[in-house]
Chain A
Amino acid sequence: MDLILEGIKQAISLLFTLDPEVLGITWLSLAVSGAATGISLIFGMSVGTTVALTEFPGKRFVISLINTGMGLPPVVVGLFVSIFLWRNGPLGFMEILYTPTAIVLAQAIIATPIVMGITLAAIQHLPRNLRLQILALGATRLQMVWMLMKEAKLPLLAAVMAGFGGVISEVGASIMVGGNIKGYTRVLTTATVMETGKGNFDIAIALGIILLLLAFAINSLLTAIQQQQRPR
């Protein structure tokens, strides 16, 4: 119990003294996971909507693939991304292993199926007639998609939160492709693992608390947008 109190004290002091290292780590976590979520939104929402709105043979199979992808284990993603990015690997010429870019890439791969799966379900869940109605009112296909996405705002913002939540809390891939390099690729989760290994439990708890606060702040923002958008 003392340890947890000590951790909370540490977290507060690290935050309020604006410890430059902790601020840097926090900022990097936010930037990397934010960027990864951004990328996953583009791919996840577009593909998810397309799959939801088109009929093609094997559609069920594709949907189960996407749904399986929602549970993609971060360590497996980390392993494959590392192998591809190795100097002597297929994408070695890019020289991005052990950089923040590599973490963004791995996290985007983790978040994309999550966003895709929820988008798919959200759009599919809309009443079929709505589509026909919108088209009947003379909307182009693109306008229709836009209308549908607006209609499904509530679950779509849930998709953003799920995607972001999935990557900001992820440690396996970040440590493998980022390497937990001090002042460069050290994010909140990998720093927590390292401080635990060092036996600095108070700092580890403090970093954990900062991570939770960060996740809470981002999700409150998204929830505010989501709830005010609620269609009556």
Chain B
Amino acid sequence: MMKRSYVRTAVLAVFLTLVLAVGMAANASAAPGKMKNLILATTTSTQDSGLLDVLIPIFEKKTGYFVKTIAVGSGQAMAMGAKGEADVLLVHSPAAEKAFMAQGNGTARTLVMHNDFIVVGPPADPATIKMTKGATAAFKNIALSKSLFMSRGDNSGTHAKEKGIWKAAGINPEKEKWYQQTGLGMGQTLNVAAEKKAYTLADRGTYLALKKNLGMDILNQGDAILLNVYSVIPVNPTKFKKINADGAKAFADFILSKDTQKIIGKFGVEKFGSPLFFPDAGKKEESLGK
């Protein structure tokens, strides 16, 4: 008899999990109403810095949309947009964004906010870039001294910026031994660089958020080339019929609104003593960094 009761328990357990599965499936399709779903493809830095955790709940409460935030590199975010797999993008890779717009993949590209990139590395600074003027010179020093450099290597906005600086420095590091690619997000790349006592290019927001465990210093900053500009792009609904165009527009309007811009400007002040992002709605890209 004992035997039987255990078999029954096992059967019951299987049955219960099944009921759960069906229930969840029904729940998932019912909970957020159909056209209420909005897919936001964005960069890892907006998520890793914690900004979206603050903004998204406000947006959802205000508009009733259910936002699915997919945090990937800017390159992948735009690839998703180009395939119609995302409704709205929040990205920071200006050259790639312009190409994206030129192909008619977005309805508008509007400046949201900026911060800056910084060159971080071991406090000992083996390539002596602390004294150099400008990021390009710093990169040249790193190459000359063959100091280890960690690249994101993931087509993200940060990676695109880094490649731009190497190009400006006239160096092709791709096949060099001191140049390594992590293929990971910003936070993880910073961790790898810290472990290996390597240099890397990071956005200030993510660096500040991770600073306490890193043991890395900001060694070069302030160059105009290091400007990090975030834009919002609603995906063009005429190309793909499943795009939630209304939701995308609502999100763009929300993130550019006065109240949201104020929140962006204050974000991080309490925790880090300085803001992580500077709101830019209504400004022109050319006017930044001056």
Contact = CB atoms under 8 A, between A and B. Distances in A.
Interface of A: 31-32, 34-39, 41-42, 86-88, 92, 95-96, 98-101, 104, 150, 157, 179-182, 184, 194, 196-199, 201, 225, 228-229
Nearest to B243: A87
Across the A-B interface, the 10 shortest Cβ-Cβ residue pairs: A38-B17, A199-B210, A35-B21, A197-B187, A99-B28, A34-B17, A87-B242, A101-B28, A98-B68, A179-B70
B18 A101 contact: no
Given A87-B85, A196-B188, A197-B187, A181 B21 contact: no
B132 to A, nearest CB: 27
B39 A98 contact: yes
A39 B18 CA distance: 7
A38 B14 CA distance: 5
Interface stretch (B45-53, B88-96, B141-149): B45-53
Q: How large is the interface on B (under 10, 10 to 19, 20 to 34, 35 or more residues)?
A: 35 or more
A38 B18 contact: yes
26 contacts: A34-B20, A35-B17, A35-B18, A39-B18, A87-B84, A87-B85, A88-B83, A98-B39, A98-B70, A99-B28, A104-B24, A104-B25, A150-B3, A181-B68, A181-B70, A182-B53, A182-B56, A182-B69, A194-B47, A197-B184, A197-B188, A199-B187, A199-B213, A199-B214, A201-B213, A225-B9
B29 interface: yes
Interface in B37-81: 37, 39, 44, 47-48, 50, 53, 56, 66, 68-71
B191 A38 contact: no
Contacts of A88: 83-85, 240, 242
B68 A96 contact: no
Interface in B212-241: 212-214, 240
Given A96-B29, A179-B70, A182-B69, A196 B187 contact: yes
A24 to B, nearest CB: 13
Given A38-B20, A42-B18, A181-B70, 12 more contacts: A42-B14, A88-B85, A104-B24, A150-B3, A194-B48, A196-B188, A196-B191, A197-B184, A197-B188, A198-B48, A198-B50, A198-B210
Contact of B187 (A100, A181, A184, A198): A198
B23 to A, nearest CB: 9
Given A198-B48, A201-B213, A38 B21 contact: yes
B171 interface: no
Nearest to A108: B21
B2 A228 contact: yes
B281 interface: no
Interface string B128-157: 000000000000000000000000000000
Contacts of A229: 3, 6-7
Contacts of B188: 196-197
Contact of B209 (A92, A180, A199): A199
A199 B53 contact: no
Nearest to A41: B14
B237 to A, nearest CB: 12
A134 B83 CA distance: 58
